[in-house]
A and B are shown apart, each in its own frame.
Chain A
Amino acid sequence: KQEVTQIPAALSVPEGENLVLNCSFTDSAIYNLQWFRQDPGKGLTSLLLIQSSQREQTSGRLNASLDKSSGRSTLYIAASQPGDSATYLCAVDTGTASKLTFGTGTRLQVTL
């Protein structure tokens, strides 16, 4: 059974810092990995999707990497801003037709 772990559970950084969020999964036979953002009381917003054949994806200040063999993904946020404050979730699709297994999330706070 796929298990997804995210470290740290919570993170507080001053504005402007670069930061890394970690995601690890137990079954490396994944189809893709997706990073989401969730604001309090809101739904999930898809940030980046990395296919199993890819090593990384970039969107603006966000960069996600994937190392299937070690069962790890990282989400790099450059020059963090207060508006980045949210919970970040990673989810893996083990290829059984779109069944995403979610991590428990990292709650990020970017302070002024």
Chain B
Amino acid sequence: DAGVIQSPRHEVTEMGQEVTLRCKPISGHDYLFWYRQTMMRGLELLIYFNNNVPIDDSGMPEDRFSAKMPNASFSTLKIQPSEPRDSAVYFCASRRTGMPLLPYEQFFGPGTRLTVL
């Protein structure tokens, strides 16, 4: 298994531009998570999906952020318009539902390092 795949690995853009980050979860995993990591705030959950349906987006910082999961093997996180304070590493993670009451580990992708100038 290739693990969670994210693209691009690095993105440099100018303020005001649209940014789209992509994620392919591990095959068979039914949960997908988007996190953001910064020096100031550490790792924060932005949104997560279960069976392609957004369950909790309370961590999405602003309306400029949106996420979609059109199918079980693909998700996007979009920032429009981007701002310098959005500069961070964005991680995607996935997990598989286990037996009742048996939690499963989250597996993380390598991240996308976003720099907004």
Contacts and interface: CB of A to CB of B under 8 A. Distances in A.
A78 B106 CA distance: 25
A60 interface: no
Interface size bracket, A side: 20 to 34
Interface string B10-29: 00000000000000000000
Interface residues of B, number: 25
A100 B106 contact: yes
A31 B43 contact: no
12 contacts: A32-B103, A44-B93, A45-B108, A46-B105, A46-B107, A46-B108, A49-B103, A49-B104, A89-B43, A91-B43, A102-B44, A104-B42
B117 interface: no
A90 B10 CA distance: 26
B42 A43 contact: no
Interface of B is mostly: strand
Q: Name the residue among B50, B105, B109, B110 with the largest chain A CB count within 10 angstroms.
A: B105
Interface string A20-61: 000000000001101010000111111001010000000000
A89 B42 CA distance: 10
Contacts of A36: 108
Interface string A81-112: 00000000101010011111111110000000
Given A43-B91, A105-B42, A99 B56 contact: yes
Contact of A31 (B48, B50, B56, B103): B103
Interface string B68-90: 00000000000000000000000
Nearest to B4: A43
B106 A98 contact: yes
A31 B105 CA distance: 12
Interface in B33-75: 33, 42-45, 48, 50, 55-56
A43 to B, nearest CB: 4
A89 B40 CA distance: 15
B110 A42 contact: yes
